[in-house]
Amino acid sequence: MEDAANLEEYSSAVNEMEDPTNMKDKVKDPEVGAIFDSLEELAEYYKNYGKEKGFEVSKRTSRKGDGGELKYLTLACSRSGKSKCNSRNSLKLHPITKTDCQARVRASICLDGKWKVCSFVLEHNHELSTPSKTRFFRSSRTIKPYMKRKIEVNDRAGIRPNKNYNSFVFEAGGHDKLPFLEKDCRNYIQKMRQLRLGKSDATAIQQYFMKMQSSDSNFFYIMDLDQDGRLKNVFWADARSRAAYREFGDVVTFDTTYLTNKYDMPFAPFVGVNHHGHSTLLGCALISNEDTPTFT
């Protein structure tokens, strides 16, 4: 029964996605003096307006009063502002997303707590997205609860993130029928894995490695934690492995297809080959996500 309900919910979601222009009412252009009951209502209005017109919205500026309360707010096209050039990565090509677009709406808070539009700019200096593409704006992408449950079940079963995502693509009948991207699926998987690995577990690992380091000064480890103190990735190598790396580190391989622990973090051994043609361990890692940023 639950599977049937999920299937019905899934089919309904797909049908909604098939016609991105199917909106109950057209969103009106901003008007000076327009009143909104709350800041959330104003933000939701402009987000829907941007989705209909073909641009994504971001909060550009805000001003607070002497008491710290928010008094003024500017919501703008996400392509407002200018791109920053990072001299350290000058040879790395990045798509230009900032065009100094001036499209925006400015609002101020009234004495009764409502928000009033003070001014607005409608014109954009860049091409707007088509309705079929606005569904993939960050603010529009979403993973529904029943999809999240299936993603987590697949992940616990050892299904790789790309195959996990492709199963939804197959069921929906194409990438354009899904309300989220593969990177959203990967991000959710990483988040769930980190939640399963709590702060106490990361602390226990760190304490164990510190104990190892106190008895062996050549023992090395490095831990990658998130902002909540949960373990994302960890690498370690003892004195023997480090010595082997100095001798046989010309060619190094690592393999993440080994067994995973109870937190679904793949174990990745770094392996070299000694003078006798035998494999020798150079280090070990537990990783939370099998993507380029994690490996580098």
- CA–chain centroid gap for 256, Å, is 22
- Residue 44, token pair as written in the block: 């939701």
Say what the pLDDT of residue 13 is: 46
Ranges of H-type helices in the chain = 2-18, 39-53, 131-134, 145-156, 161-172, 182-196, 199-215, 239-248, 292-295
Q: Give yes or no for a contact between 238 and 216, defined as CB atoms under 8 angstroms apart.
A: yes
- Give me the residues of the chain with pLDDT under 50, please: 1-23, 90-93
What pairs with residue 103 in β-bridges?
A: none
What is the DSSP-derived secondary structure letter of residue 116? E
pLDDT in tens, 43-71: 999 988 988 888 988 888 788 877 778 89
CB-CB contact of 202 with 230 (8 Å): yes
- Cut 0.85: pTM above it: no
pLDDT of residue 38: 92
DSSP tag of 257: -
Asked if 225 contacts 288 with a C-beta cutoff of 8 angstroms, the reply is no
Q: Where are the domains of the chain?
A: 1-20+140-196, 23-81+97-134, 199-295
